[in-house]
Amino acid sequence: MKIASMKLLPTAVFAVLVFTAGCATTNVNSVERADPQARPNFIADKRIITDASLAGKVKILAVNEGKVSGDHLKIQVRVENNRSKTISVRYRVEWVDAQGMMLPTPTDLWKPLIMQGREQGVIEAVAVSPLAVDFVVKIQET
């Protein structure tokens, strides 16, 4: 009985090794200033979750807002891959004017975002129209 279990041991070890190799992580380590000098303008946001699975994989950390070129709204949404493997999502940013109307542009498209394991990424967009006062960021798993 003991000999039989000893014979099975190499097979079990091999199986574990194969399993571990298949689950190789691509986690990202990083380093940054302990006391950041930047003073981001994080704004309060409202999240509408229709895909709980995606919400579990990609965490929205914060939304930073500013103005560029005088009067053009710029946003950066900080997101984090909650998984230990590379994830591919796509996003789209829509701009809204003071009357609540969407402001379409010819380059307003779904764009890809690829994040390595546990990596933080940024969804960045600048409103082409100076009339934009609000935004909607849509994220979808690909």
Partner 1 sequence: MKHKQYLPLTFSLAAIGLLFTGCATEVKQADPKASQVINASQISPQEWAQAADKLINSLLSSGVLDRAPQLPSIMGVSRIINNTQQQVDTDSLVKKLRVALNQTGKVITTTTIGLGGKAEDPLAKEAAEYNAAMSGEKASVTMPYWTLSGKLLEDRVVSGKNTQVTYTFQLSLTQVKTGLAQWEGEEQISKVATRPGVSW
Residues of this chain that bind partner 1 (CB under 8 A): 68-70, 72, 74, 90, 92, 105-112, 124-126, 128-130
C-alpha atoms less than 13 angstroms from C-alpha of 127 in its C-beta half-sphere:
25
In the complex, least distance from residue 136 CB atom to partner 1, rounded to whole angstroms: 14
How far, rounded to the nearest angstrom, does the alpha carbon of residue 134 sit from its chain's CA centroid?
A: 21
Q: Which is nearer to partner 1, 56 or 130 (CB)?
A: 130
Q: Give min distance, CB of 72 to partner 1, in A.
A: 5
3-state secondary structure of 4: helix
Between CA 129 and CA 142 the distance in angstroms is: 29
Q: Of the two residues 42 and 110, which places its CB atom closer to partner 1 in the complex?
A: 110
Cβ 51 vs Cβ 90: under 8 Å: no
Q: Please identify, using beta-carbon distances, which residue of 82 and 137 lies nearer to partner 1.
A: 137
